[in-house]
Amino acid sequence: MDGFQEKLAATAGRIGSALDALLVLEPRQGEIARPERLMAAMRHGALNGGKRLRPFLVLESAALFGTGENDAMPAALALECVHCYSLIHDDLPAMDDDDLRRGQPTVHKAFDEATAILAGDGLLTLAFELLGSEACHRDAAVRSDLVVELAKAAGLGGMVGGQMFDLQAAQDSPDEAAIGTLQAMKTGALLRFACEAGAMLGGASPAERVTLRTFGEKIGQAFQLADDILDVVSDEAAMGKRVGKDEAMGKGTLVGILGLEEARRRADRLVGEAEALLSGFGHRADVLKGCARYIVSRQQ
Amino acid sequence: MDGFQEKLAATAGRIGSALDALLVLEPRQGEIARPERLMAAMRHGALNGGKRLRPFLVLESAALFGTGENDAMPAALALECVHCYSLIHDDLPAMDDDDLRRGQPTVHKAFDEATAILAGDGLLTLAFELLGSEACHRDAAVRSDLVVELAKAAGLGGMVGGQMFDLQAAQDSPDEAAIGTLQAMKTGALLRFACEAGAMLGGASPAERVTLRTFGEKIGQAFQLADDILDVVSDEAAMGKRVGKDEAMGKGTLVGILGLEEARRRADRLVGEAEALLSGFGHRADVLKGCARYIVSRQQ
């Protein structure tokens, strides 16, 4: 591991601990009770050793504007809850029908389908509670704004819509532009939100907010290209999930359309563009730039 | 129809029109695209002629504190989106496995399971976007507060948790107290939120807010008793969905434990208590009191 990966792993550990402390059986004020089985399923889906890339980006983007890790953590956790919910629902038999996720049984395999659906619903709902709560930010206008932006990124015009397009892709054979739209929605929107949320938490200027948002869009596109490349060249053991699946299902991917070499070139170009966007921040943005490079060089 | 039912039906029409205008294909600022099939499924789940009781309660509770219908409508729509999402997910084969809802095919029958899961996810997410948006309330603190309260009412310590307990009820044979908890979570929490949200929108005092919240809890309990009674005495044609189901699945209900007569007495007592809570508002609360009575006298 290089320096960046060590930092990511250490932060992922703290994010995991914070999620662990969040997902407890004790009901909070205003709640009635928390069912044990549901909580166990939510924990299974959320505490399975993910890379925590999205919350990491929230924390690092916020740090760029002087906001400390503890202050940015609730919003970071909210985003990770949304990511984990999306994995639980995407893995369901009616959707991508995956039995393995990060080398472990998916939630509906470890529990059952009904519990998995509810665990996803619970994590999605919890995300908005976290963003709306005072601990997220002292300024209620920032909290409301985060709620709206996450809802747009995660909803029918973002991630959920992207999953819908993805389910239709096997029939529709989307062209390059349609794949771009699908990926910008399914994966890009949350990565974009991650970076923009940090700027919002840190009180960035409107111009800085656009910069971070655009940085998130670029690395989101690079991330998806890297994912498509890994789906072709990687093996199941390294990924902890099925690979070669897009091709097997007849879904067009950018790698299929562009070829492996051009896909790699584009990913590298996007990372270069993303890094350039942050040039005005000097060395303070080194971690975010390292994250951009990591996104295309990762092996899983 | 008596005067109350006429008013409810007229308001339901306006709520339906507002939902119709909300659920359109045109992406909004910050969104990328809205998939046609997903939108059609969300519309199928949300525009199927429900009674709109929960948003009606938001509007009427807000009116008690001088907030007009248009100003309270976004929050009312948010709550209805959550209610409709919960019906879509509850009807899924892995959950209650229902083919009919209000006499129409359920979303997974009219479309497919994956689309139904995503339609529910999309409606839930949209609800929080509505609450966080400036149109919901001019004061961001009120918007954030609504987000937190709806998340608590709808999440693992509220509705989602209640559905989990409900799925386990066939095995667990819950006693009266456990059924009360289950029902307070599964049905009660959203009705409680409906009334409290109106008070929040209208700038009610803390004491008034507690009054409306408690009113919502009482009518929630009465609603569930009435539902259990209808499940026993009604027929499928009147309800537009399967009846006698709780008994067939071996789930304990309060009617089963208390008997029909005692259940009816309790429902009437709860309505009386709910009405008494609003005595300080005089005739201004007549509609809400009428709603409480309607809840136990309705035939579907």
A 172-201 near B (Cβ less than 8 A): 181, 184-185, 189
Q: How many domains does chain B have?
A: 1
Among A28, A140, A185, beta carbon nearest to B33: A185
Tokens encoding B275: 């009405």
Is residue B27 helix, strand or coil? coil
Interface pTM, i.e. ipTM:
0.96
Q: What is the pLDDT of residues A137-162, one digit of tens each?
A: 999 999 999 999 999 999 999 999 99
User: Per residue of chain A (300 residues), what is the pLDDT tens digit?
Assistant: 688 999 999 999 999 999 999 999 999 988 999 999 999 999 999 998 899 999 999 999 999 999 999 999 999 999 999 999 999 999 999 999 999 998 999 999 999 999 999 999 999 999 999 999 999 999 999 999 999 999 999 999 999 999 999 999 988 889 999 999 999 999 999 999 999 999 999 999 999 999 999 999 999 999 999 998 998 887 655 556 665 666 666 677 889 899 999 999 999 999 999 999 999 999 999 999 999 999 999 876
Nearest chain A residue to B33 by CA distance is A157
pLDDT at A244: 62
Residue of B nearest to A153 (CA): B31
- The domain in which residue A224 lies consists of 3-297
B125/A155 CB distance under 8 A: yes
CA distance A161 to B32: 9
CATH number of the CATH domain containing B116: 1.10.600.10
Phi, psi for residue B99 in degrees, rounded to 5: -95, -20
Residue numbers in B near A143 (CB within 8 A): 140, 144, 147
Distance CA B195, CA B213 (A): 6
A185 to chain B: nearest residue by CA? B32
Q: Give contacts of A181 with chain B, Cβ < 8 Å.
A: 32-33
CA-nearest of B39, B33, B64, B197 to B131 is B197
- Answer for the pair B175, B144: CB distance below 8 angstroms, yes or no: no
* Closest approach of A261 to chain B, Cα-based (Å): 28
What are the chain A neighbours of B39 within 8 Å (beta carbons)? 156
Q: Is B74 on the interface with A (CB under 8 A)?
A: no
> What is the Cα Rg of chain A in Å?
18
Angle, helices B189-201/B53-63, rounded to nearest 10 degrees: 30
What residues of chain B lie within 8 A of the CB of A32, using their CB? 157-158, 161, 181, 184-185, 189
Please report residues of B whose CB lies closer than 8 A to that of A146: 132
Tokens of B153: 């009412």
Q: Go through chain B and tell me how many residues it has.
A: 300
Q: Cα A207 from chain centroid?
A: 24
What confidence score (pLDDT) does residue B253 get?
A: 83
Of A30, A149, A157, which has the smallest distance from its Cβ to B152's Cβ? A30
